[in-house]
Structure 1
């Protein structure tokens, strides 16, 4: 009997061992992650995990083509992923990553992008699409543009931090056995990827049935549907890296950048005894997310109708899943905190009591809501506010975490949203509407033009010969006539004439023939191209008499940049000033749209600061360039009744002639200033990232002080001689304005100036120069000086430097100390409008005043 019992126990032990082995094997299969360091053939440790090079042997993946690998020339200190961001896989043609041995289930797929300088490739020009097992994830993506747009949001919210990398996260149903990840660059472009991360979701973290905002429950159908993580925020707490979320290695950002009014909610914290309300809550979010929260700052304002609001940019025409995380940290009874939840201005939940839903204090829960966003909307609002009708003892609200997921539509998660290097987007659906409107408008105008032409022909028949000869005068610029809607709008906006096309010859200078233009530009030889924009190219040309000219040619039969092109025509036909680039003439033959300007022999100011082999400018030359451009801007702001706001002040739009005289150029984005009874112009945000006024971005209210802010960035760029945005630098140095301003506030600007200036400038002049730049970059426009005041102080800085030079050369007739004694109070507030006006009038002596187009 004992032998039988022994055999039975042995058999039972074997069975249990087999079962244990199967369970463990299944768990390992289900829990297997794929961590790939792209552009590498070795293993790398980052964020506490081992990442295998995509060319390493036995890495469970194959590449359809290798493209080539790239390595950063300088260390990257952007995040815990720094080690894997040092390399990248670059592909000029389609590249497929095929992963084998993937069990069926749900997986987080994360694609890591961190642009850096690559030999023979301009990373700013990269553009590519990505798909996974046929599901399109990304379309025509420009990574630097995406990063710049993210930084634009951070800058607009007044935050100093900037991003230098991008992680795109998707939740996909995969398997069985294989994942094909396809990267496809656009024609004549390329793509890159730094790392690929595939993490299994063993526990089910989403329910199929979810409450629809303002309606009944809906089925998500996640078995055949993918999701993209748009936002994941630790509300009221710090940023949490993957090391805080060991189940799924997610990153939780801070929420303050997305708050409409940041001080509307205050942070609260309680890390004691927090548990999950339900056992299946554990993989949804780590407990540390629930240890912090945001509550209403003041519950007694605005008759208790005050809300905490978050604003998020989303892709239109998609369904969204909004997940809100709650944990009651303060109250210990029901009915003490009851509030409403609003999503896109619709009530998602009323009478919401965290304590009641969770079953007590310090218990973590979450709520999911489904909301479709229409094709006409690209913003998702989330608001929490008191529910005064519920009779709670406190009118307050609380939120611990927030996630927003985009759900795939017909096998697609991608949305064509193009961001240029300045971070600004062009929405394809909006562009289609614009083209439809333009097409309808052009058709209507052509019809009207045909009727007018018919009437004119009848009149010509009845005219005398003299009248007939008079009728053969040049008709004006035909393309402008065909797009008279845009011209009219711009003419109205700037106070110009509505008869622009009929006065083109008289206000735009000489009318060139197309043959003359082709001869001057050698049939538009690309070797003579000196610039390019959305409208087309700018060429250097030479007339028969030897005069050098700049020829701006719109791309034939293209509408791109047309509005900006016509705005520039309206502006330049009215503006004449020594420090504004002059318009010489135009050409309108064969539907060409060509403008001819004076040639600026020394190109852009930026080209003399960095990025070229040109000799560096002296401190005096830089000051004179700043003074010249300030004079041009001040003339724009004050030279007419309403003034003109340039809206795109940057060093590439400041040109230098053969004598290094600075002149403002490119007026395509310019707008007329506010009328006498208004303080601002309400308009869509345009400009260049890095130079853009954050107050203008937040409020979409344009003022002259927006130009002043941009000019302040130019001042720092001139003295530091580096790009205003450089994602390859350490995090705190990416944004020049923030970095230089931090040094200036410490009165240590000399620590970061261009090395070419060291020992060749007056320290006193640099000190005053830094004070001017600092004032220009004030957060609020009302605290910034007028351009006339900036001009006056820059001229004073030049006087200080010239006095220092004379002293250095042994000329004692005038010292820098005397300059200080003879100059008025140097504070920016001390310069009156009268002083600046009189000073500017002196600078404009001999210049042609503003022309009114009648």
Structure 2
């Protein structure tokens, strides 16, 4: 009997302990930290506690001082947690206590400028219990590459399985830099959120072993439905993006929705995804084609060299029996599943179900393709595919989730590196004799070459002579010979353009590269204002010898400018390639960049007519690029700093270093890596890496809004809805209220009708899909029409002013008894000849349209 009581007592203690642990875990279901303050704020019904507040289950070390916090009033419009930040120039640790289990960790960042700190210059790393999360991390750079919605803040999400009782988040700024953090979010998840056993693409089931590794959330998409906000996913407060921006062809799948009662296939799946994800789906658009080779495809940019967990969410919304919809699933062009029947796997219609796959991405690949398509080998009545949701998680490798660099805490990685270094040293020792002999032979042969100039350039660090790559010819030495003969397209190909300068001549023109002569600096090097011996002013671009980026841009620029001549393209006078230099000489543009005349300088503002004429000139230059050659030229970096103005304010396009030849006749686009300037970048080109002439049209649309609003295209210091000029101006334009945000320096000296048409042109240029945008020729035509409207408005205003003066003069004459003036038809009131002439001018303009 006594033993029975003891056993009961032990059981009671065990139950009490479990309840205490459960209660403690329930209390820590969500830990929200508002960094850089001791005050707490409420957001969507959740309380964010200041990192200096008492009793917040958090330890900050070393203890922060007053100068490491920042009140960022300019960011409060984004949300209360972005109104403060913790800034650190040395190491900083946040320690969460009693958080053993599975958690989502979210790091909240928002760039700012505070005192001497500029978030654009911040670089730092982050680790969690020794697991590298971020390394050499730049928040603004990640915002530019990751955010498709124009947001100026960023949330990095990680999944951690915490074995110890505490979680230590370690922040470490890079040498000479600093770091910052706006908010920390720790959300406990169910133990069954990720199963250990998972299907490997093209192989058998493997074990994830998440207790020994972490994951980073790369993508979470609500396929076929709207964005799901954190408050709509109350279990884990996740954000589900819209999937359209990641589809290679949005038309490949259409959206379907079913508001009927959807339940989870398993009662344990309630935290896998909210039911909202399963109420909408995307299914194939055209399933009746003769050859069923059509797939729905999502292209996702990922970090190379990692394993990825792909989670697909399904719910059969249409069919009520098995074997009615069968399809295949491909991950990176390999079959992950065939004969996939949602109804059979989920156990019925309207049953929420998910399937996980594991795939390794090569160190040479940065994309992950997810494709669903028909499985014609099955006997199903329908072979189209269906998908409700998609999640991509990156798994840690060697104790690290960061793609750039790695934390030194991974000892096995260090040992492997040392072993590789030892083997490399041995190999170098064995081969050194052979390499030395080979090098001596090469040097001997090079010294015998008569063309010592070419030889010296081959030995120069960083440079490859352009004439070795067919960009220019080295057989002529003066401008007359350089003129050459033209090909069938009328362009001078593979020939030196203009005069060949010596280094001595360049040094004389720039006063030995005097810093006072510098008028611009870029990734290629510096641009000098120079005067050639005949008195001609020139812009002299000198590339830095170690700039590989500059080399590629110079080669492209010479190739392009050898083909192109136009009044609205900056002309190249000549070049210099002596003494390891690579220099290009251009015509001098006295009035600098268009941007400098819009904002950021003390130059007088341009009138509305001048702005229109500049836009028309730039449009003419781009139109020539697009149509002047067989395949056309795509500029790829259209922006106001690349539109230069000469002494007469004539606009000319410049900087062709990123330009690409257009697609061949049988293609619609050029597949290429995304390059350009953030804020001007075509979102369709960014998503698909498919460059077209319509990408230039989009960038030019941003230029048009920049011209009329006279502000930077990206300004993180503004409220959230104003940071991105294109989105902000487009919103006002769609309300037909563009005049609300135009440059106040215009002072009303513009035709309202011309402003209305101007806004409509810019709006069309910024269409989401390239096929909906006008061509540059159409943009040019409309801009010229806008100028006509403005000129007609000015003429009417001038005529009205002249008429008023004449009326006053007539009244004076009448007082003096002038009878002849009273008979003049110019003074007969509203129906006078001037009134009719003015109206006629307006009709003429309308007919021109």
For the aligned residues, what is the CA RMSD? 4.1
What residue number does 1:30 align with?
25
Q: 2:508 aligns with which of 492, 516, 520?
A: 516
**Partner residue, 1:850:** none
Aligned to 1:769: 758
Counterpart mapping for 1:410-489 below 5 A: 410-416=398-404, 451=445, 454-456=448-450, 482-484=463-465, 488=469
The answer to whether the 8 Å contact 1:479/1:588 transfers is no
Match of 1:561, SS state, is helix
| Offset at residue 576 of structure 1 (A) | 5.1
Which region of structure 1 is more displaced relative to structure 2, 795-804 or 368-377? Answer: 795-804
Q: CA deviation at 1:109?
A: 1.2
Instruction: Tell me: CA distance 1:781–1:322, structure 2 relative to 1, closer, same or farther (3 Å).
Output: closer
Contact 2:457 2:463 in 1 (8 A): no
> In 2 relative to 1, CA 409–733 (structure 1 residues): closer, same or farther, beyond 3 Å?
same
**Displacement, 1:194?**
1.4
The change in CA–CA distance for 1:795 and 1:277 in structure 2 (over 3 A counts) is closer
Q: How does 1:176-195 map to 2 (within 5 A)?
A: 176-195=164-183
- The equivalences for 1:123-142 within 5 A come to 123-142=119-138
Aligned ranges 1:637-676 → 2 under 5 Å? 637=626, 643-673=632-662
Contact 1:478 1:591 in 2 (8 A): no
Query: What secondary structure does 2:548 align onto?
Result: coil
Give 1:401 deviation, angstroms: 2.4
Residue number in structure 2 paired with 1:507: 499
Equivalent residue number for residue 143 of structure 1:
139
8 Å CA contact 1:554–1:592 kept in 2: the answer is yes
Which protein has the larger Cα radius of gyration, Structure 1 or Structure 2?
Answer: 2
- Residues 117 and 198 of structure 1, relative CA distance in 2, 3 Å threshold: same
Structure 1 residues 99 and 268 mapped into 2: Cα distance closer, same or farther (>3 Å)? Answer: same
1:230 is displaced (CA, Å) by 1.1
Contact 1:507/1:574 (8 A) holds in 2: no
The residue aligned with 2:37 is: 40
- Tell me, in whole angstroms, the C-alpha distance in 2 between the residues paired with 1:27 and 1:685: 50
Within the candidate set 97, 101, 111, 1:101 is matched to: 97
CA spacing shift, 1:484–1:86, aligned 2, 3 Å:
same
Residue pair 1:511, 1:586 contacting (<8 A) in 2 also = no
1:340 matched to 2:336: no
Deviation at residue 409 of structure 1 after TM alignment: 0.7
The 8 Å contact of residues 457 and 580 in structure 2, kept in 1 or not, is answered as no
Question: Equivalent residue for 2:344?
Answer: 356
- Within 1, Cα distance between the matches of 2:235 and 2:640? 48
| SS of equivalent to 1:341 | strand
State the Cα distance separating 1:347 from its structure 2 match: 1.9
Q: TM-score, normalised by structure 2?
A: 0.79
CA distance in 2, matches of 1:116, 1:716: 25
- Range moving further from structure 2, 541-550 or 728-737: 541-550
Q: Partners of 1:545 and 1:276 in 2: how far apart?
A: 82
Match of 2:552 in 1: 563
Aligned counterpart in structure 1 of residue 265 of structure 2, from 263, 277, 282: 277
| Cα distance, 1:362–1:411 mapped onto 2, change above 3 Å | same
Give SS of 1:232's match. Answer: strand
Residues 439-467 of structure 1, C-alpha deviations (whole Å, 9 max, x = no match):
xxxxx99999985762427xxxxxxxxxx
Q: CA deviation at 1:761?
A: 1.0
Aligned residue pair count: 764
Give distance in 1, aligned partners of 2:783 and 2:802: 23
Provide the rounded CA distance (Å) in 1 between the counterparts of 2:846 and 2:526.
47
CA contact (8 A) 1:799 1:819 kept: no
1:179 shift after superposition: 2.9
- In the alignment, which of 38, 49, 52 is matched to residue 52 of structure 1? 49
Q: Give unpaired runs (5+ residues) of structure 1.
A: 155-160, 418-443, 458-470, 828-854
Query: How far apart are the structure 2 equivalents of 1:240 and 1:116?
Result: 27
Residue 463 (structure 1) aligns with: none
Inter-partner Cα distance in structure 2 for 1:532 and 1:735:
25
Compare 265-274 and 756-765 and name the one that shifted more: 265-274
Alignment of 1:793-812 (within 5 A): 793-809=782-798, 810-811=801-802
Structure 2 distance, partners of 1:396, 1:499, is: 51
Distance apart, 1:48 and its partner CA: 2.0
Q: Tell me how far apart the structure 1 counterparts of residues 197 and 462 of structure 2 sit (CA, whole Å).
A: 57
Query: Partner residue of 2:425?
Result: none
1 CA distance for matches of 2:732 and 2:248? 29
**Structure 1 residues 22 and 338, CA, compared in 2 at 3 Å: closer, same or farther?**
same
Separation in structure 1 between the aligned mates of residue 386 and residue 645 of structure 2, nearest angstrom: 57
- In structure 1, distance between residues paired with 2:125 and 2:225: 34
In structure 2, stretches of 5+ residues that fail to align are 406-437, 474-486, 804-833
Q: Distance in 2 between matches of 1:133 and 1:472?
A: 58
Is 313-322 or 789-798 further displaced after alignment? 789-798
Q: CA deviation at 1:552?
A: 2.6
- Out of 146, 151, 168, the position equivalent to 2:156 is 168
Instruction: Note the C-alpha offset of 1:518.
Output: 6.4
Please give the alpha-carbon distance, in whole angstroms, between the structure 2 residues aligned to 1:545 and 1:189.
Answer: 49
Say if 1:446 and 1:684 are closer, same or farther in 2 by CA, change over 3 A: farther
Relative distance call for 1:182 and 1:565 in structure 2 (3 A) is: farther
Deviates more, 1:273-282 or 1:631-640: 631-640
Match of 2:823 in 1: none
User: Equivalent residues in 2 for 1:9-408 (5 A)?
Assistant: 21-31=16-26, 32=28, 33-59=30-56, 60-64=58-62, 65=64, 68-74=68-74, 76-78=76-78, 82-91=79-88, 93-151=89-147, 154=148, 161-408=149-396
Output the CA distance in 2 between the equivalents of 1:789 and 1:265: 31
SS in 1 for 2:520: strand
Query: Do 2:457 and 2:465's aligned partners in 1 also have CA atoms closer than 8 Å?
Result: no
- Whether contact under 8 Å (1:712, 1:774) holds in the other structure is yes
Shift of 1:762: 1.6
Task: Give the drift of 1:653.
Answer: 0.7
| Pair 1:537-2:526 in alignment | yes
Change (3 A) 1:680 1:183: same
Aligned partner of 2:703 in structure 1 is 714
Query: Residues 406 and 449 from structure 1, CA distance in 2 versus in 1: closer, same or farther, beyond 3 angstroms?
Result: same
Preserved CA contact (<8 Å) 2:492 2:562: no
Matches within 5 A, 1:802-841: 802-809=791-798, 810-811=801-802, 817-823=839-845, 825-827=847-849
CA deviation after TM superposition for structure 1 residue 709, in Å? 3.3
Provide the rounded CA distance (Å) in 1 between the counterparts of 2:439 and 2:710.
49
Q: How does 1:576-587 map to 2 (within 5 A)?
A: 577-587=566-576
Aligned residues of 2:637 and 2:658 also touching (Cα < 8 A): yes
Residue 314 of structure 1 deviates from its aligned partner by 1.4
Question: Residue 575 and residue 393 in structure 1: after superposition, are their counterparts in 2 closer, same or farther (change >3 A)?
Answer: closer
| The 10-residue stretch of structure 1 (343-352 or 358-367) with the greater mean CA deviation from structure 2 | 358-367
Give me the whole-angstrom Cα distance separating, in 2, the residues matched to 1:625 and 1:803. 19
The answer on whether the counterparts of 2:159 and 2:216 sit within 8 Å (CA) in structure 1 is yes
Structure 1 residues 131 and 389: CA distance shift in structure 2, 3 A: same
- Kept in 1, the 8 Å contact 2:589–2:644? The answer is yes
Change (3 A) 1:529 1:190: farther
Which deviates further from its counterpart, 715-724 or 122-131? 122-131
Higher relative contact order, chain-length normalized (CA < 8 Å, sep 6+): 1
**More deviation, 684-693/343-352:** 684-693
Tell me by how many angstroms 1:232 deviates: 1.7
Task: Measure, in 1, the Cα distance between the counterparts of 2:242 and 2:630.
Answer: 46
List aligned pairs for 1:683-832, cutoff 5 A.
683-694=672-683, 696-697=685-686, 700=689, 702-727=691-716, 729=718, 733-778=722-767, 784-809=773-798, 810-811=801-802, 817-823=839-845, 825-827=847-849
Offset, 1:110: 0.8
